[in-house]
Structure 1
């Protein structure tokens, strides 16, 4: 039996294991493309060189290339349209992807069809000493949120409550924005952009009206022009801060709110022209005002949600990515998993910095996973590590471990995590609180 050759940018052991558990996996040969440490363990992305080396690897492959996929945000997501176009595999166009990932362009396009569901916004140059005054002239006043035109995760995102907050954020942005702006500008050079978008390159930032409420993510895909939302995952934060506490599936939002989010998803993704690829959209529901807000669009499945779908629906939603890349309508089951609910928990410390001196041992982790069946724990730190060296962290805390758990009820899930968290032992020195 001939097998499909599927190349995965940044393939690591965890994702290889997940891919081997998909429906039809016996018909796939999985190949890595770009070492995972170049994607996961760094904040420096020589994107032009990465695209060149990936192209050389693919060109040297002497069998058919059936699919090129990835599960990461920047830089992986932006590489895929370039590589897929070059080697004749399926994904959405670079321009439609950028209508989602270039935050300013995305807001402009959203405003054309769902303007009542997005916050007020403006772009600004963080190196412009008059930036704050220009933000005010655009109708945005304290408090507001700032973030780069292109970012990854929650990195370099700040709530601004005062001029002092803005100056502190500007200092960080000026020092660090180049890590993403330079490689993102390489991607922009490959695309056909409207002039108003081309003028706002990767070195710019966004200021947006503060929105909030019950946060969730609609996971979906587009197949031959048909937009299909297939699951909604709640994103629950720690009290009073922006840091995530857990992702929870299925969503506990009222059904009529979920239906409105699915409708908005179909409207905007059709308007963008996104096709033959997976995506997810983050929304807020402001329960007091009964108002839905669109936060942002991501051009990939969420890796954090893979195990949640496997636990509840029976297979990781990587199924969607693989099937679409092979030109097939996704064969995604529904509620065929071993648990009624599932969560990914973020075990965090709220330090400015510290040095890790102890992490849970393999034996301790294995005992916890056996105590709570279906649990998987992935440490994010090791002894001797300085917390400030961790990549992809928000501005308020550090995630020491990710814990995926399943249960038969919401209450059981929360209670099981509370018991597990009490038994996770980390130790630190040189703590800066």
Structure 2
């Protein structure tokens, strides 16, 4: 008898990640809601999605071992919410929303790790004069209480930039804010948080330094880290250019973020789920700041785990659902280093040509285990991309493994240079700096 799991927003591109775990023949992975409903959608009617998914689960004739999710909101809330309804192992919806609500999360962080928490304040973008609510100095980062992938996130250097950002936020914030308010209605929100709903923003001090994320799990109070991934930004320090695994941060620095993560999650009451926490480390000052807490594994890291460990990080999610302690320490893959690279353009333009399937397969054949995913379509304006960040447009993802960082970056340059895009402005994809950040 196979063990049945449902996976929110499962699509053909990510199914191989689930099949890259130990003994995949023992499991059956079923899609729960479509990718177009929970990721590539213009709107996310949370309660309607919740009801539709619950109906699908209850109509399934066999026992269900767990519900898996590797996407951001609304998946990150639907997974614990549905698990609670069906009595499946997961973090509580209350604990998850403490992490998901950016202002609430900052309050919790400041209580337990004050030195690791940037200065912040809540901003109502629909107030008569939102500027009156700003209590921190410029420059600052302005973003919605609920969004992801830097959507509607802006660096603000002065009052003029603040007002311009508020104007754009007012037009688009309801896309995530309204469904998030539906989600919040299912839990008890403390009085100091309740007025700050999904259509508010948070202003935060600019965090400087290098960025890194821990991926781990909590199982019945046992805290474990299964990987640390470096999140590297482009030369403008605005958009992500790669997720590199394993981290090249010094061991003593990695030890500090591991310890801080455990302290924070225990304070939040987060248990029986996977997580990811992003940190900044200022090497010169040797100080740390928390960027955010994610309540899931990341599908953006899955290929790197396969290349380095031989199994996807979905192994962790499956083990947790079954009540097994996740442990990738003895898993060995073909490579010592791996990364997901994001090839980008900064300016909006019309995509006139993308590499065709035959060209992609030919380029992939030149590097073992490489994978290229084109994320734009011919005839599309870059501004039409779903969920872009506020400063650039992702046009391709390139997944690579190597023996070391130097080889990884060299191979990326070679493959990216072979991808033949054409844009109406005549420009090429942006060039980035690739620092060799070994310590």
139, 147, 150: which one aligns with 1:151: 147
Gaps spanning 5+ residues in structure 2: where? 429-439
Q: Is the 8 A contact 1:43 1:392 kept in 2?
A: no
**Shift of residue 335 of structure 1?**
5.6
Q: Is the 8 A contact 1:241 1:396 kept in 2?
A: no
Counterpart position of 1:12: 11
Residues 1:275 and 2:271 are matched in the alignment? yes
Counterpart position of 2:254: 258
Residues 1:397 and 2:396 are matched in the alignment? no
**3-state SS of paired residue (1:422):** helix
**3-state SS of paired residue (2:91):** coil
Counterpart position of 1:423: 418
In 2, Cα distance between the equivalents of 1:24 and 1:234? 29
367, 377, 386: which one aligns with 1:382: 377
In 1, Cα distance between the equivalents of 2:7 and 2:346? 34
In 1, Cα distance between the equivalents of 2:288 and 2:323? 33
Counterpart position of 2:127: 128
Match runs of 1:1-400 below 5 Å? 2-135=1-134, 138=135, 140-334=136-330, 336-351=332-347, 353-400=348-395
In 2, Cα distance between the equivalents of 1:357 and 1:368? 20
Q: Is the 8 A contact 2:143 2:152 kept in 1?
A: yes
In 1, Cα distance between the equivalents of 2:302 and 2:160? 40
**Shift of residue 241 of structure 1?**
3.5
Q: Which moved more, 1:269-278 or 1:38-47?
A: 38-47
TM-score of the two chains, using structure 1 as the length reference: 0.96
Aligned length: 428
**Shift of residue 117 of structure 1?**
0.6
**Shift of residue 333 of structure 1?**
4.2
* Pair 419,113 (structure 1): closer, same or farther in 2 beyond 3 Å: same
Q: C-alpha offsets along residues 313-366 of structure 1, whole Å, 9 cap, x if unaligned? A: 121111111111222212434460100100110111111x21111111111111
**Shift of residue 202 of structure 1?**
0.4
**3-state SS of paired residue (1:360):** coil
Gaps spanning 5+ residues in structure 1: where? none
In 2, Cα distance between the equivalents of 1:65 and 1:414? 42
TM-score of the two chains, using structure 2 as the length reference: 0.95
In 2, Cα distance between the equivalents of 1:229 and 1:43? 35
Q: Is the 8 A contact 2:122 2:133 kept in 1?
A: no
Q: C-alpha offsets along residues 275-331 of structure 1, whole Å, 9 cap, x if unaligned? A: 110010000000111101111000111111101111111211111111112222124
Q: Is the 8 A contact 2:141 2:156 kept in 1?
A: yes
**3-state SS of paired residue (2:341):** strand
**3-state SS of paired residue (1:306):** helix
* Pair 425,334 (structure 1): closer, same or farther in 2 beyond 3 Å: farther
* Pair 432,403 (structure 1): closer, same or farther in 2 beyond 3 Å: closer
Q: Is the 8 A contact 1:314 1:333 kept in 2?
A: no
Q: Is the 8 A contact 1:314 1:334 kept in 2?
A: no
